[in-house]
Structure 1
Amino acid sequence: MSATKDPCISLCKFDDDICIGCGRSKREIKAWKKLDKEDKRVVLAEAALRLIKLGATGRRKKR
């Protein structure tokens, strides 16, 4: 099983319970490593929608 990349962009600031960097809840961030591939895909889809609602950019850090 290939790993699903962690969406963290090292911008851990929260609006309510949602990180404005990656769009995940605190609970989802804590559980990330234990989620299976399908659950991670669901979290990523939901996180993307949350970022849109928050008007956050969710920019990736430059490498």
Structure 2
Amino acid sequence: MSVADKVRSPCVQVCALDEQDVCIGCQRTSDEILRWTRMTNEERREVLRNVAIREQKVAL
């Protein structure tokens, strides 16, 4: 798998965890951030689905 085929990180270089241990920049948990480089593309897609759900909750 080439680098171009990998699911890219949602990191936006705003790295700070809130009270729920979720990054205020990318909406990933600290565990998701730490494991990202070892995840499969399917695992990364699942994280991105969870990120989208968290972003919707923040917007409310």
For Structure 1 versus Structure 2, the TM-score category normalised by the shorter chain is 0.7 to 0.9
Q: State the TM-score, normalized to the length of structure 2.
A: 0.82
Aligned residues: 55
* CA deviations over 1:23-50 (Å, ceiling 9, x no partner): 1000000000000000000000101111
2:11 to 1, 8, 14: 8
Moved segments of 4+, more than 6 Å: none
Identity of aligned residues (%): 38
**Is 1:22–2:30 an aligned residue pair?**
no
2:47 matched residue in structure 1: 43
Q: What is the CA–CA distance in structure 2 between the aligned matches of 1:32 and 1:49, rounded to whole Å?
A: 18
Whichever structure has more helix as a proportion of its residues is 2
Using CA pairs below 8 Å that are at least 6 residues apart, which structure has the higher relative contact order?
Answer: 1
Q: What's the RMSD between the two structures over aligned residues?
A: 1.0
Structure ID, larger Rg: 2
1:53 matched residue in structure 2: 57
Q: State the TM-score, normalized to the length of structure 1.
A: 0.79
